[in-house]
Structure 1
Amino acid sequence: MLKKTQGIVLGAIRYKETSIIVKIFTRELGLKSYLVNGVRTQGNKSKIALYQPLTLLELVVYDKDTAGLQRISEAQVHRAHQLIPFDFTRTGIALFITEVISKSIYENYQNESLFDFLKECIIHLDSKEVHLAQFPLVFLIEKASYLGFAPREALGFLSESRSQPFSVSELTQAENYLAALMSSSFSNEAKIGKILRQKLLDHLLDFYSQHLDNPGNWKSLVILRQLNG
């Protein structure tokens, strides 16, 4: 059966000589793996570009009840990125949030509210007005609510974790900053020192690791450290 849906590309791997298997988080159908034939040929560079991480797509797909790879009938860009591919910091953050998404959901997982949130995050990351330094923190805080394990108050993010990297004075600053982020989201104007912000990021990732099955190491964190001071 053919179905229309929007999708967020999470990644692709090579398959045989000219094909790829691409993971796409779709709005109506959930996380799916699709076999796309013939996109790795010399004349199909524009088609392979459709399947770069975090590309927002309009899709017509074959939806079968049987397990295994699905196929795409039609794919076109929903909204082309203007800044993410050309800005190293935005690219680093994009890699980071792609990894967080990929480790947080599983095959066939479907959540329209989460999809809408992720779509807005990607569009915001691609805008000129975004505060890049705090983007990963806000992303982790808000995404946790869509996954069902976000505390109601800032202190919960700090107390419901096995790691406590903060001094007494840092703990107060961290709580106040998290409360500001929870209150004003991506539009927050509060400032915090680089070292404490990095500690908060490590702490939130540890918080995520406690709630996810086998997340492993966060590989994109090294790149994020270098780009997002």
Structure 2
Amino acid sequence: MLIKTRGIVLNYLKYRETSIIARVYTEQRGVQSYIVNGVRKAKPPGRIALFQPFTLLDLVAYVSPRGGLTRLSEFRCLRPFRTIPYDMRKSSVVLFLSEVVSRVLREEEENAALFEYLYHALVAFDEQEEGFENFALVFLLHLSHYLGFGPDSGRQITEQVAFATDANLPATSRPTVLRFQEFEHFFDELLRDEGPASVPNGRVRRELLTILLRYYQLHVENMGDVRSLDVLSDVLAEL
């Protein structure tokens, strides 16, 4: 059976000499893995670019009643990005966020609201000319609500992370609790999303992302470390 669906590329692995196994978050089937033949051939050029992280695709895909790997019958770019591939700051943010999303999205079932959020957030990010310094933070805060553990306040984030980090220390000697409290008001501003937050520099953004990733790790089993945060940190230092 064939289905037609929109998809958001999460990542891919090389497969045999010229093919890949692409992991895609689809509108109709949730997370799916597809064998895509021949996209690493020299001719026609450029087809592998369609499977870079967060590329928006129109797909015609085979569906197996047994699940598992299937193949794509057709694929094309649904909406080419205008700025993300050509702006190192934006492409670094996308690399980081795609790694996070690929680690937290695992369900093979439809979630139309989540798909629409991801799709429209990426389109808006691509169109944004300036003031996108906090996009990764806002994106992850909103995503957490779709995943079922969205915080109501900055205090909820910092307390959970601080006490989990210092779980083996007595209650009277938790230095990170006070340290993390310094960041509560930034999370509160970002959660309200009423305008640009007053995050002063890239160093603080790195701290906020580190805390937020730890919050995710408390709620997503076996999430693991996000390696691309180190890459993004160099870019954040300039924002």
Q: TM-score, normalised by structure 1?
A: 0.91
Which one of 173, 188, 192 corresponds to residue 199 of structure 2?
192
Q: Which amino acid aligns with 1:87?
A: D
CA contact (8 A) 1:4 1:60 kept: yes
Q: Does 1:176 align with 2:185?
A: yes
Partner of 2:128: 128
Equivalents in 2 of 1:56, 1:143: separation in Å? 18
* Post-superposition CA distance 1:67-105 (Å, at most 9, x none): 321111111111101111111111110011101101101
Equivalents in 2 of 1:97, 1:128: separation in Å? 17
Partner of 1:103: 103
3-state DSSP of counterpart to 2:60: strand
CA 138–71 in structure 1, closer or farther in 2 if over 3 Å, else same: same
CA contact (8 A) 1:54 1:98 kept: yes
Q: TM-score, normalised by structure 2?
A: 0.87
Runs (4+) of structure 1 moved beyond 6 Å? none
Q: What is the deviation of 1:152?
A: 2.1
CA 197–14 in structure 1, closer or farther in 2 if over 3 Å, else same: closer
The Cα RMSD (Å) is 1.8
Equivalents in 1 of 2:74, 2:130: separation in Å? 32
Equivalents in 1 of 2:6, 2:53: separation in Å? 14
Partner of 2:223: 215
Partner of 2:168: none
The sequence identity of aligned pairs, in percent, is 36
Unaligned runs of 5+ in 1: none
150-159 or 17-26: bigger deviation: 150-159
1:1-229 aligned at under 5 Å gives the runs 1-106=1-106, 108-161=108-161, 162-163=164-165, 165=176, 167=178, 171=181, 174-184=183-193, 188-194=195-201, 195-229=203-237
Partner of 2:171: none
CA 12–160 in structure 1, closer or farther in 2 if over 3 Å, else same: same
